[in-house]
Chain A
Amino acid sequence: MSRLIHELSKLPGIGPKTAQRLAFYILGQPQEEISKLAESLLEAKLKITFCSECGHLTESSPCGICSRRNRDQSLLCIVEESKDVIAMEKTKVYKGLYHVLGGAISPLDGVGPEDLRIKELLVRLASNTFTEIIIATNPNIEGEATALYLNKIIKPLELKITRLARGLPVGGDLEYADEVTLGKAFEGRTEI
């Protein structure tokens, strides 16, 4: 029992109390339910790999997005993590391809450019005919540093490089926006 609690509490966002609650819940379940959970955990780990092209999580490489013909092959969107791809896909606005870096430059966490999938990115840029590169790293210090770095190394290739706009959330109120966001929204205003 204590081993189960210990293992569960290693998961992100799960403290010892939650781990204990989960452990008791699991014990209360019928055996087949638990087998299903255990199998799906193992199966996920065994079957899911990284796409050789974009670095996104997938069961078969290249992944569903890279291998689908109807995606716009001239657009490439660079994101930090796989979960960012999933978030972007939910929008159904973007029809191009992705490149997952696997993180952002952060010396404090020991992550430098060589730890990100940047070499793979350069190979892709050289062998494909992208017309626009969209940098979609997070709008924080590390994401911004990564974007600047990418800009530096992609610029010589003379491709169009864009960044996602920063500004007001849809359905929000101006008065509740924090000053920095509002300031950015002002800088990035568009003509209507």
Chain B
Amino acid sequence: MFLTSLELNRFRNYNDLTIEFSPQVNIFFGQNAQGKTNLLEAIAMLSLGKSFRTKKDDEVIQWGSETCFLKGMFVGEQTPETIEIGIGRAEKRYRLNHQSVKRNDILGQVPVVIFSPDDLQLIKGGPSNRRDFLDLYLAQIEPKYRFVYYNYSKVLQQRNRLLKEREVNLTELEVWNEQLVEKGAKVIKYRLLFIETTIPYIIQAQQQISNSRETLTFEYIGFRNQVLTNMSEEDIKKLLQEALITVRHSEIERRVTLIGPQLDDLRISFESGLELRIFGSQGQQRTATLALKMGLINKIKETRDEYPILLLDDVMSEFDDGRKRALIENLINSVQTFITSTSRNDFARFAYISDFRTCFYEIERGALKIG
């Protein structure tokens, strides 16, 4: 799948923009704060239905305007697709091939994999970074997961609200417990299956980048640091039921749900068992983030039979030449890639990049020069 053209109206610092892209490498270069990342944000938004930079989607509306509009034309293995998004202060509208649809119908149509300077947080940051990572890519690969996750989060909200009541009706709590266990087990099952089937790709990428010097292990961590391996949904339900019993009193005391997939983690360690988050060097952590994303790209290719779109937000400066080479050699010839950088020359050093159909765009204050 690749993006052939992009149209933006009153999006961030782009007043009215139409660009056409190369199916291979597209490089946005220019000074800082000119709007390079805004273009990646727009492309990601067409795929995910929301921004990857902010939780408040109306921040992307140009200052002084009330609405903005994005349109992308994609060509894939099957038919061309048009995705349009209109954003107002209070609502968003989505259209797929000129038909009005919901956000969930857009998500996963055109998978994207994003590399950004914040990726290091995936390794170094708290568990929520890794859960968001799992959920974002699971939703792109498994359309059903969105529904499963949405149902679970509704149950969780209801249950948390009930726990906040002055007097908790215990029979009612039991009902929400049953729902929490049932819907929660589904979420965990999807995640376990995803981890199990994606890890081989990540490890392969990891070994390519580091020339097999180091191997990583990935474990899904549930309630009280228990490692969950790919087990049946019934077994997960049993675990959740037992966990619920152990936290029963503290939940009522603290008035919030204390178990469930919203608290789980993905632990990444060296073979020795030491956690990468704590014991890994900066370089090892960078390699791991790169491997995670590259593994995902191959996993998406395997499940969907087409490559995702690759967005590289100012990451070239973060990687040393070895990692850059790994990335470029492995991906860029088959994946449509969008790269932001402050200098055009960043890429010239990689002579092989000129073999690809590369388009350069110079960005200056929301205007664009093909160069």
Interface residues of chain A, those whose CB is within 8 Å of chain B, are 105-108, 112-114, 141-142, 144-145, 148-149, 152-153, 179-180
Contacts and interface: CB of A to CB of B under 8 A. Distances in A.
Nearest to B144: A179
The 4 closest A-B pairs by CB, nearest first: A107-B161, A107-B162, A148-B175, A149-B175
Given A108-B158, A141-B158, 9 more contacts: A107-B162, A108-B161, A141-B151, A145-B172, A145-B175, A148-B178, A148-B179, A149-B172, A179-B147
A145 B173 CA distance: 10
30 contacts: A107-B158, A107-B161, A107-B176, A108-B157, A108-B158, A112-B165, A112-B169, A113-B171, A113-B172, A141-B155, A142-B158, A144-B179, A145-B158, A145-B172, A145-B175, A145-B176, A145-B179, A148-B175, A148-B178, A149-B171, A149-B172, A149-B175, A152-B171, A152-B174, A152-B175, A153-B171, A179-B143, A179-B144, A180-B144, A180-B147
Question: Which of A105, A107, A144, A152 has the most chain B CB atoms closer than 10 A to its own CB?
Answer: A107
B158 A112 contact: no
Nearest to A152: B171
Interface of B: 143-144, 147, 151, 154-155, 157-159, 161-162, 165, 169, 171-172, 174-176, 178-179
Nearest to B154: A141
A93 B115 CA distance: 58
Nearest to B167: A112
Nearest to B148: A180
Contacts of A142: 158
Contacts, number: 48
Contacts of B175: 105, 145, 148-149, 152
A83 B162 CA distance: 27
B55 to A, nearest CB: 20
A144 B157 CA distance: 15
B99 to A, nearest CB: 14
A149 B172 CA distance: 6
Contacts of A114: 169
A57 B9 CA distance: 51
B155 to A, nearest CB: 6
Contacts of A148: 175, 178-179
A107 B163 CA distance: 9
Nearest to A106: B158
A141 B174 contact: no
A105 B172 contact: yes
Contacts of B157: 108
Contacts of B158: 106-108, 141-142, 145
Contacts of B143: 179
A145 B162 CA distance: 12
Contacts of B162: 107, 112
Nearest to B159: A107
Nearest to A180: B147
A106 B175 CA distance: 11
Nearest to B160: A107
B138 to A, nearest CB: 15
Contacts of A108: 157-158, 161
Contacts of B161: 107-108
A107 B165 contact: yes
A25 B161 CA distance: 44
Nearest to B157: A108
Contacts of A141: 151, 154-155, 158, 179
- Counting chain A CB atoms within 10 Å of each CB, the highest count among B175, B178, B179 belongs to B175
Contacts of B154: 141
Contacts of A179: 143-144, 147
Contacts of A144: 179
A103 to B, nearest CB: 14
B148 to A, nearest CB: 9
Contacts of B159: 107
Contacts of A180: 144, 147
Nearest to A114: B169
A107 B176 CA distance: 10
Contacts of A106: 158
A62 B54 CA distance: 56
Q: Which of A105, A112, A141, A179 has the most CB of B within 10 A?
A: A141
B166 to A, nearest CB: 11
A75 to B, nearest CB: 24
A106 B172 CA distance: 10
B189 to A, nearest CB: 14
Contacts of B172: 105, 112-113, 145, 149
B93 to A, nearest CB: 16
A51 B144 CA distance: 42
Nearest to B172: A113
B169 A113 contact: yes
Contacts of B155: 141, 145
A105 B174 CA distance: 13
Nearest to B150: A141
A114 B174 CA distance: 15
Nearest to B153: A141
